[in-house]
Structure 1
Amino acid sequence: MDKHMTLLTHINNVCRSASYAISKIGRIRKFIDQATAERLVHAFATSRLDANNSLLYGLPKTAIAKLQRVQNSAIRLITCVKRDQDINAVRRDLHWLPIRDRIVFKLLLITYKIRHGLAPAYLTDLLMDYIPTRTLRSSSQYLLQPPSSREVATDYYGKRAFSVAAPSLWNSLPLAIRNADTVYKFKRQLKTHLFNNPSD
């Protein structure tokens, strides 16, 4: 953590360790098949990219781009595609979400677990169900109460807070996803939704 909360030191360390793992796997890539290469990359590289990634929500594109370049290197290693080939198309073939959407996915998964009593109290206490003062259609929409304008700082840091970001992202989901009755269904539907509606 740095004094400006940019997390750049953390990002640089993650990129360094993940890139090192990718280079090591690259040395044996010609001796293994694609499925084995993908398992190794998930175990030693993308697991590092995903660890604690919900903390990275709202960071500038330049910061996320560093992590994206590492993911792109992992994809090229697995698929052996040339550098001039469209990496986005190859990523979709692997059914991988880009880094920015993986961050959103993690935030929303945590939010789902909070709403279903599967998260610790210190997180649960940050969110409240939306309860209108009178009966409205929104009463059955499984929405979260966004913080009031007085409670939320309008600067860069306030918008990144979990108590601000989670209700905003959750309430923007289709009802069918918010209403998923198992974690497995939620994850499957959410991933499809993010593929069809990628973050900018």
Structure 2
Amino acid sequence: MPSLSNINIKIGDAEVIPSATIRNLGVVFDATMNMSNHITSICKTVNFLLWNLSRIRRFVTEDASSNAMRALVLSKIDYANAFCLDVEAKTLLSLTKTTKPCCPHYLPSSTPHSSSPLLNSLHWLPIDQRICFKVLLYIYKTLNDLAPPYLSDCLTIRVPTREGLRSNQDLTPL
């Protein structure tokens, strides 16, 4: 199989040069589909947002800081994170490290604290659990007719073909 760098495409007099990555609706894809380029892009954006928020933190209330953090930072992390469902833990580690600086924005003092109790009090899930929760939420909404039709069309509900099997009992309501 030829690599992308060896492919030459000419359209008229113009030559089209293949790219190692593509961006579609803000998600960066590459040939290996390991999402590392997308996660790197998110980390850069989140670090920039955190830097800007840290500059104004002393001028706003804790509630305003919390709202800004949710609206700006967490929305960037949560956007299209379902693509990262099967990503290796070491690849997600950079994204997890990026969210650690979110915690000092909520602390009134400058003394170092563990971020875990604060994340629990803010009801923030770790990155891998956020991804899993979002996918499960999509499935729940699809099963309960709360999702748009394009999601409902992707999910097929198993209907047993034979009666009297133990697996048929799984479909009965609790």
TM-score range, shorter chain: 0.7 to 0.9
**How many residues in Structure 1 have an aligned counterpart in Structure 2?**
142
Query: CA 1:2 to 1:80, structure 2 compared with 1: closer, same or farther past 3 Å?
Result: farther
- The structure 2 residue matched to 1:33, chosen from 33, 54, 61, is 61
- Give the Å deviation of 1:99: 0.8
1:66 partner amino acid: S
In the other structure, the counterpart of 1:17 is 45
Q: C-alpha deviations, 1:76-124, integer Å up to 9, x for none?
A: 2222566853211221011111111110111011111211233344432
| In 1: Cα distance, 2:75 partner to 2:108 partner | 21
Q: Identity percentage over the alignment? A: 26
Q: Which has the higher helix share?
A: 1
The amino acid across from 1:79 in the alignment is L
Partner of 1:45: 73
Structure 2 unmatched ranges of 5 or more: 1-28
Question: Does residue 130 of structure 2 align to residue 102 of structure 1?
Answer: yes
Alignment of 1:107-146 (within 5 A): 107-132=135-160, 133-135=162-164, 136-141=168-173
Structure-2 separation of matches of 1:83 and 1:69: 19
- In 1, Cα distance between the equivalents of 2:37 and 2:75? 18
TM-score normalised by length of structure 1? 0.64
- Matched residue SS, 1:131: coil
In the alignment, the residues of structure 2 paired with residue 121 and residue 83 of structure 1 have an alpha-carbon distance, to the nearest angstrom, of 50
Pairwise CA RMSD of aligned residues? 2.0
Alignment of 1:1-200 (within 5 A): 1-80=29-108, 84-132=112-160, 133-135=162-164, 136-141=168-173
Q: 1:138 to 1:7 in 2, by over 3 A?
A: same
Q: Contact 1:15–1:70 (CA<8 Å) still a contact in 2?
A: yes
- Give the letter for the 1:63 counterpart: T
Question: Which protein, 1 or 2, shows the higher relative CO under an 8 Å CA cutoff with sep ≥ 6?
Answer: 1
SS at match of 1:6: coil
2:20 matched to which residue of 1?
none
Structure number with bigger Rg: 2
Q: Tell me the TM-score normalised to structure 2 length.
A: 0.73
Between structures 1 and 2, the one with greater strand share: 2
Does the CA-based 8 Å contact 1:34-1:78 persist in structure 2? Answer: yes
